[in-house]
Amino acid sequence: MLKKGTKLYSIINRKCPHCHEGEFLVSRNPYDLSVVGDLLKECSVCHRKYEPEPGFYYGGMYVSYALAVAQSVAVYIAVGVLVPSSSQTTRLFWVLGALVVLAPVLYAWSKALWANLFIPYKGVQRLPGEDEKWIAR
């Protein structure tokens, strides 16, 4: 399930959506706040570009929002089940705390997920007639 060539492998490991080998983000650590969410220009292994057009990753904001909502609902329900006597305020603080702590991870995963929605796995070798918008120059 989590082997190279699957979209889930690329998303979770934040690898190149083209070849699943090169790094996708500038830093492997999502908590390196000086470069959080910054993408490399191209893959160091297959040398394909990560951004086919300017503004390509704006759609990742919607993915980030969906991940944050899913996380918030999960934390709210988990606190309600694990501590049934907790107040609404306590649950709200747990939700906000989880959002603050996991925001960099959600941001990194949202970009990787967005890229994998639109960029198919191609492997390391260039394919004949491959679309030029992905080739780094």
Whole-structure pTM value: 0.82
Query: What pLDDT does 133 receive?
Result: 60
Number of domains in the chain: 1
| 1 within domain boundaries | no
**Quick check: 103 pLDDT over 90?**
yes
* Model confidence pLDDT, tens digit, residues 57-95: 898 899 999 999 999 999 999 999 999 999 999 999 999
Q: How confident is the model at residue 96 (pLDDT cuts 50, 70, 90)?
A: very high
| Domain of residue 90, residue span | 7-134
Q: Are 49 and 126 in contact (CB under 8 A)?
A: no
Mean pLDDT of 92-99: 97
DSSP string over 23-73: BSBS-S-TT-TTSTTPBPSB-TTT-BBS-SSTTGGGGHHHHHHHHHHHHHH
| 75 within domain boundaries | yes
